[in-house]
Amino acid sequence: MSAVPLTIAEINALDLAAFVARFGGIYEHSPWVAEKAWQARPFADREALERAMWNVVQQADREQQLGLLREHPPLGTRLALSDYSRQEQSRAGLADLSALERSELEELNRTYEQKFGFPYIYAVRNANLRAILESCRNRIGADAETELAESLRQVSRIAGFRLADLF
């Protein structure tokens, strides 16, 4: 998050433990993504690192993918958040919701999670509450396979933002 940026050469030189310490939180509470992506070194650039991590997620079995999605906190939650999630949600205004807004988001989150078995995930960077709520309302109507794919795509977008912040 606020770590000193490293060059790609420095990243490629990290041993597994240092690499996971640095990048293990890019995918929410899922250091296994960084552990497996480390094997794809050397990375040509940040985009290559991002692709390597995304490939790990895509090649994971369905249970691992669902586990990854379940590691994400509900949007607007008052529960403990990772540093990444707290900053992302705060920047999107989700820390300052009115009681009515919080109630609506909580109800949408509950409905979504009951239907799909994992929390509603949306890359909130540069988003506002209206867009977040509209997206959730629309996505609740999706079928399970479509929504799994969309949620993984959103997770990938979040990871891309987080990686860009480290370079």
Tell me the pLDDT of the chain (167 aa) as tens digits: 557 888 999 999 999 999 999 999 999 899 999 999 999 999 999 999 999 999 999 999 999 999 999 998 877 765 555 677 667 666 766 777 788 888 888 899 999 999 999 999 999 888 888 888 899 999 999 999 999 999 999 999 999 999 988 88
Return the domain boundaries, the chain.
Answer: 8-165
Options 1.10.3330.10, 3.40.50.2300, 3.20.20.70, 2.60.40.420; which CATH number does 8-165 get? 1.10.3330.10
User: Which residue is catalytic, options 72, 123, 129, 152?
Assistant: 72
Cα gap 59→40, rounded to integer Å = 13
Q: Is 29 a catalytic residue?
A: no
Specify burial of residue 134 (Cβ count, 10 A radius: 0-12, 13-18, 19+): exposed
Q: Tens digit of pLDDT for each residue in 6-46?
A: 899 999 999 999 999 999 999 989 999 999 999 999 999 99
The pTM assigned to this predicted structure is 0.85
